[in-house]
A and B are shown apart, each in its own frame.
Chain A
């Protein structure tokens, strides 16, 4: 957690690095680095982004630490060992042909867009169709940017923030998820290419949901995304990540890191819809989504709220967490996870109560269908000094079909007597009675399933910003297609 770049290491790295630096770059064509991971690649990424020395040093420390780390094996997911040398870490060549019209795209994807009710022009951009100049998303973005500037909100790519706001980035980067945290986060620290940076100044209530208009940009984010959001004293921000539309990517491994910092009286609401390619019905292909998301409620009365709808990816490994340091701070985790076909998800949260009268709430709704395997894994820890802490956890799993699995693994550590910690979990099959009732009223079986499952998820769906919620609701139904009948 220490600020990166202690002098001695810097010098050393400079000496070691300097001789390679330029020679290496000249070997490389334009914006592309060869396959594989090495110190040179890390230096290359940093150089391409014209990063300051301290950041390079930090990346290198992460890289060297990464080399010593074992793969985490505790999650209930199985996959063949990752070959880190068989991947691109910078500007992987993507064969995304420009399409002439929407008629050229995979009809399956087109159908999903329609079901989600995504406007035509957004469909075109998502699908990579060459867009008519009449629709100018950039100008829309510019309008928003102007407004944010008025309020003093900084919202830009993290690479830009490194150049323009180095003091903020240097102060907070790695302060919530240290570069030594876990194998995937450490890899991200070494090779992250871009992501979002948000800073909300004291007392400012961010005038809009950040990144609502960003759907299109979000579709192009890289595989090692790094996001850093800082809500200064008394500020508020709601950040939306991801996209309900199915996202395809040639890269199998995605290892993002998101760090949130809430100072006194600040609030951050972070909503995610994750719909990466889950693989086909036989479980071939699909994204490995190994994400580290963590928020620090550093200040008194601060609040961090995570809401996630996880329907995509072949494997999801993700535990958005809150470190409740400030007295009276609040952490929330609302989650819907759906695993269908051969998807695997091991997801949950950690609520670490350190301050007095800290409160946390966890609602997790897991739906497993087909051959899906899903695990809720959560930790609630009340430290000895967390006088008056409160936690309530509700964890429900719904099973559709006899070949899926649902698992619940909570760790509940209560080390203060005045703390009240309550955990409840249920697992059951989708109700035949409910499905029959719906069908008797004329609903198709699939629609009946979607309706009943949406009802099951309601407590979480209502935490999402309105326009997201409507699409997410449709997404729930789409994700379960083929799970019954």
Chain B
């Protein structure tokens, strides 16, 4: 590829696949090793994306290539003590699955087995049909071709987790997934992988907490991939809270495919992170499928937050709605790329997208690229993007009523983010996420 700097190993970023990665792969899983081998070839062919690749126009991964990452050592129990600081979460309502450095930690997790019809198991250790499910779907929803970081994840993943909710089952309590990194003294990279399958008519809520220490002595690369398959009329609410400190590279790819009348609702709240890329692609594969993607981000310092979405309407009467709002302080930079594709067969599509950013400081920047690509005619599609500062007139109005400037500013930002937060249909999550966002504002 043009513009790439040659390194000792030929292709930029290839060291990420050095020995040590993927070592924990269980024996006797020929489909998995084949998948990983193919992905390793894919990654080797593509290398790390440069800004010449349109999908990475505004996010530069060049710094990654400068770092000699290595895979985390298995079961580093020493780090668990330091992790407890990160685990300030309230006791779980239902199941809580804890991952450290991308590895499932049964000792820290709690599996609520009181609900029937759901299984949570590693790709290779699940009951017969879950194993078959993983073998059938893994790498098919998030594909390695033309997505170097998915290829890297696939090549580098150890075992991952499959969550499977069976037909017609409505989970009463949310499933929590907690992903932790520790303050390791050397650069670590890990590639967590999750597969979520809801059979026809199933309903579930999944809440992810992604945590990283505020400061890390050495940079870490977290390169996670989540694949989601929803059957007919299945409904998944997928909420993510990312409290990622001030350093590190956090790359999250979510890919979902939706059946007839299925609904995928997702919300991501991001505070911090050195470089964060949240990429979500949803394929509305069957008639009546609907997705609602929303998010709020609050970044400062020299953080870089990239929200990239791709929604592809491939069937009639499919719907998408996106609302993303963020505040950018310090010399931080936010990126929003939202692409909506409506294929010829997707007549009756409704698609609506909004992205707004507030710049709070002189060095703050935002780059936005909303994009509509439409090949059907019976459609209603729109997008809006805006950037600006806090409305001065509103600020003055509040101050004239005696509200101190700092409070007035906070109130207005809260109102601004509220449009996004109100997209969360689960009241408890909405409340908790709002609290987190507002606390960030309070502390700034």
Q: Is the CB of A407 within 8 A of B364?
A: no
Stretch at the interface among B141-149, B377-385, B408-416: B377-385
A416 to B363, CA, bound (A): 7
Which residue on chain A has the smallest CB distance to residue B365?
Answer: A415
Binding stretch for chain A, among B63-71, B186-194, B353-361: B353-361
A contact residues around B387 at 8 Å (CB): 412, 414, 419-421
Q: Is B347 an interface residue (CB 8 A)?
A: yes
**B381 CB contacts on chain A under 8 angstroms:** 426-428
B-contact 0/1 string along A396-423, CB 8 Å cutoff: 0101111111111111111111111111
| Pick from B54, B377, B383, B386: contact of A421, CB under 8 Å | B386
Pairwise interchain contact B382-A414, C-beta atoms closer than 8 A: no
B380 → chain A closest CB, angstroms = 5
Contact between A413 and B367, CB atoms less than 8 A apart: yes
CB pair A414–B374 under 8 Å, yes or no, is no
The chain A residue with its CB closest to the CB of B58 is A413
CB of A421 within 8 A of CB of B379, answer: no
Q: Contacts A426-B381, A426-B382, A427-B381 hold; do A402 and B388 have CB atoms under 8 A apart?
A: no
> Nearest Cβ distance between residue A205 and chain B, in whole angstroms?
36
Q: Which residue of A lies closest to B356 (CB)?
A: A422
B362 in contact with A417 (CB, 8 Å): yes
CA distance A429 to B361 in the complex (A): 41
A413 nearest CB neighbor, chain B only: B367
* Contact A402 B382, beta carbon cutoff 8 Å: no
Distance in angstroms between the alpha carbons of A404 and B365 in the assembled complex: 36
> Interface on B for A, CB 8 Å cutoff?
54, 344, 347, 357, 359-389
Knowing A414-B359, A417-B360, A417-B361 are in contact, say whether A402-B378 is a contact too (CB < 8 A): yes
Option from B344, B367, B374, B382 in Cβ contact (under 8 Å) with A424: B382
By the criterion CB–CB under 8 Å, are A424 and B384 in contact?
yes
**Shortest Cβ distance from B153 into chain A, in angstroms?**
28
The one of B366, B372, B379 that contacts A408, using a Cβ cutoff of 8 Å: B372
- A401-B377, A417-B360 known; A423+B369 contact, CB < 8 A: no
> A425 on the interface (CB 8 Å rule)?
yes
Among the listed B362, B372, B384, which residue makes an inter-chain contact with A427, where contact means beta carbons less than 8 Å apart? B372
B369: chain A residues at CB < 8 Å are 409-412
Q: Could you tell me the distance between the alpha carbons of A399 and B365 in the complex, rounded to whole angstroms?
A: 35
User: Nearest residue in A to B377 (C-beta to C-beta)?
Assistant: A399
A402 touches B364 (CB 8 A): no
List chain B residues, Cβ under 8 A from A416: 359, 362
B377:A410 contact, CB within 8 angstroms: no
Whether A423 and B382, one on each chain, are in contact in the complex, defined by CB atoms closer than 8 angstroms, is no
A418's closest neighbor in chain B, by CB? B389
User: A202-233 vs B: 1/0 string, CB under 8 Å?
Assistant: 00000000000000000000000000000000
Report the minimum CB–CB distance from B330 to chain A (whole Å).
Answer: 11
A422 to B370, CA, bound (A): 12
- Residues in A with CB closer than 8 Å to B370 are 408, 410, 412, 423, 425
Which interface residue of B376, B377, B380 has the most chain A CB atoms within 10 A?
A: B377
Question: Which residues of chain A are near B380, meaning CB under 8 Å?
Answer: 426-428
Min C-beta distance of A434 to chain B, whole Å: 15
- Which of B359, B372, B383 touches A417 (beta carbons < 8 Å)? B359
- Do A414 and B377 touch across chains, with their CB atoms under 8 A apart? no
Q: Do the beta carbons of A427 and B379 come within 8 Å of each other?
A: yes
Q: Which residues of A contact B384 (CB under 8 A)?
A: 422-425
Whether A425 lies near B386 (C-beta < 8 A) is no
Q: Is the CB of A407 within 8 A of B359?
A: no
CB-CB nearest in chain B for A393: B385
A402-B347, A408-B370 are known; give 7 further A-B pairs, CB within 8 A: A402-B344, A409-B369, A409-B371, A412-B385, A414-B357, A415-B365, A422-B386
Question: Residue among B359, B360, B374 with the most chain A CB within 10 A?
Answer: B374
Please tell me the number of chain A residues within 8 Å of chain B, measured between CB atoms: 34
Per the bound structure, the CA–CA distance linking A427 and B352 in Å amounts to: 10
Chain A neighbourhood of B379, CB < 8 A: 399, 427-429
A455 → chain B closest CB, angstroms: 18
When distances are taken between beta carbons in the complex, the residues of chain B under 8 Å from A406 are 372, 374
A402 to B378, CA, bound (A): 8
Q: List 16 A-B contacts (CB under 8 A).
A: A384-B362, A397-B374, A402-B347, A402-B376, A405-B374, A406-B372, A408-B372, A411-B369, A413-B365, A414-B359, A414-B365, A414-B367, A415-B365, A424-B382, A426-B382, A428-B380
- B366 CB contacts on chain A under 8 angstroms: 413-414
Q: Is A404 within 8 A of B377, CB to CB?
A: yes
A429 touches B378 (CB 8 A): yes
Q: Which of A356-385 contact B (CB under 8 A)?
A: 384
Please list the 5 inter-chain residue pairs (A to B) with the smallest Cβ-Cβ separation, ordered nearest first: A417-B359, A414-B387, A399-B377, A420-B388, A408-B372
Task: Specify the chain A residue showing the minimal Cβ separation from B371.
Answer: A409
Given known contacts A413-B367, A414-B366, A425 and B360 CB-to-CB distance under 8 angstroms:
no
Query: Across the two chains, which residue of chain B brings its CB closest to A414?
Result: B387
A181 to B369, CA, bound (A): 23
**A402 contacts which chain B residues (CB < 8 A)?**
344, 347, 376-378
Chain A residues whose CB sits within 8 angstroms of the CB of B383 once the complex forms: 408, 423-425
Give A403 to B375 CA distance when docked, in angstroms: 7
Contacting residues, chain A, for B376 (C-beta < 8 A) = 402
Q: How far is the CA of A150 from the CA of B368 in the complex (A)?
A: 50
Report the separation of the CA atoms of residues A428 and B365 in the bound assembly, to the nearest whole angstrom: 32
Cα–Cα distance between A444 and B367 once the two chains are bound (Å): 46
Inter-subunit contact B385/A410 (CB<8 Å): yes
The minimal Cβ–Cβ distance linking A198 to chain B, given in whole angstroms, is: 36
A406 to B344, CA, bound (A): 11
Which residues from chain A contact B365 at a C-beta distance below 8 Å?
384, 413-415
Docked Cα-Cα span, A344 to B365, in Å, equals 34
A429 touches B377 (CB 8 A): yes
- The residues of A that contact B362 with a CB separation of less than 8 Å are 384, 416-417
What is the chain B residue whose CB lies nearest that of A399?
Answer: B377
* Structural contact, A412 and B368, CB atoms closer than 8 A: yes
CA–CA, A399 to B374, complex, Å?
Answer: 9
If A400-B377, A418-B389, A419-B387 touch, whether A408 touches B371 (CB-CB below 8 Å) is yes
Bound CA–CA A411/B371 (angstroms): 9
Please measure, in the bound complex, the distance between the C-alpha atom of A425 and the C-alpha atom of B383, giving whole angstroms.
Answer: 5
Quick one: closest A residue to B378, CB to CB? A429
The residue among A74, A384, A414, A420 with the most chain B CB atoms within 10 A of its own CB is A414
Is the pair A417, B377 in contact by a Cβ cutoff of 8 Å?
no
- Rounded to whole angstroms, the CA-CA distance of A415 and B368 in the bound complex is 11
Q: Across the interface, do B373 and A407 meet the contact criterion of CB distance under 8 Å? A: yes
Smallest beta-carbon distance B53→chain A, Å: 12
Interface 1/0 per residue, A231-257 and B, CB below 8 Å: 000000000000000000000000000
State whether A423 touches B361 (Cβ < 8 A).
no
CA distance A412 to B380 in the complex (A): 23
> Which of A384, A400, A417, A428 has the most chain B CB atoms closer than 10 A to its own CB?
A417
Query: How far is it, in angstroms, between the C-alpha of A412 and the C-alpha of B355 when the chains are bound?
Result: 11
Chain A, residue nearest B353 (CB): A425
Query: Which A residue's beta carbon lies closest to that of B381?
Result: A427
Asked whether B372 lies within 8 Å of A407 as measured between CB atoms, the reply is yes
What's the Cα separation between A406 and B383 when bound, in Å? 14
Docked Cα-Cα span, A419 to B362, in Å, equals: 11
A422 to B54, CA, bound (A): 23
CA distance A384 to B362 in the complex (A): 8
**B374 and A407 contacting across the interface, CB-CB below 8 Å:** yes
Residues of B close to A423: CB separation below 8 A: 368, 370, 383-386
Residues of A near B374 (CB, < 8 A) are 397, 399, 405-407, 427
Assembled-state Cα–Cα distance A403/B371 (Å) = 20
Closest chain-A Cβ to B381's Cβ sits at a distance in Å of 4
Cα distance, A425 to B377, chains bound together (Å): 16
Chain A residues positioned under 8 Å from B357 (CB to CB): 414
Shortest Cβ distance from B398 into chain A, in angstroms?
Answer: 19
What chain A residues lie within 8 Å of B368 (beta carbons)? 410-414, 423
Contact partners of B371 in chain A: CB under 8 A = 407-410
- B359: chain A residues at CB < 8 Å are 414, 416-417, 419
User: In the complex, what's the smallest C-beta–C-beta distance from B359 to chain A, in angstroms?
Assistant: 4
Interface residues of A in 87-121 (CB under 8 A from B): none
